[in-house]
Amino acid sequence: MKYRFIDHTADIAFEIFGRTLEELMENATLAFCDAFVYTEKLENGLEKEIEVKGEAEDMLLYHWLNELLFLFGTEFFVALRAEVEIEREGTLKARGKLYGGKLKAGAVKVEPKAITLHNFKVERNDEWHAFVVVDI
């Protein structure tokens, strides 16, 4: 399982899973897209590169999701998938190539407003697991 949505009264919540931190972030990209976009209504074929930094794994994922939200809101770009590499020397750094497209009319299911820190967590047991709530 890559991710699953959690019933939430006022926002969108999802759990994300991955064998590695890179896979967790790639699956977070899928969950973000699936939560907010009808993918068949995208103009596909675009690529973007992003880079985010974080002091710990949780803040790295938080900044990653905020970058996805920024691209959604300012460039109307949505990533359908991502390839992520993480540099672990000093401050964590995630570099990613995003593959997706521009939003067309009727493509947005519901508009995300903010990635929240409410119950936000990233942890590792046998695999990586994250819980995210997005304000809509």
> For residue 67, what is the domain's CATH number?
3.55.10.10
Q: Tell me the pairing of strands 92-103 and 42-54.
A: antiparallel
Residue by residue, pLDDT tens for the chain (136 residues) are 788 787 766 799 999 999 999 999 999 999 999 999 998 888 889 999 999 999 999 999 999 999 999 999 999 999 999 999 999 988 999 999 999 999 988 999 999 999 999 999 999 999 999 999 999 9
pTM for this predicted structure: 0.93
Q: What are the angstrom distances between the C-alpha of 69 and each of 2, 87, 114, 122, 126?
A: 20, 22, 7, 19, 29
Which residue matches tokens 């020397």?
89
In the chain, the number of structural domains is 1
Cβ-count burial of 88 within 10 angstroms (0-12 exposed, 13-18 middle, 19+ buried)? exposed
The encoded tokens of residue 67 equal 């970058």
> 105: domain range?
3-135
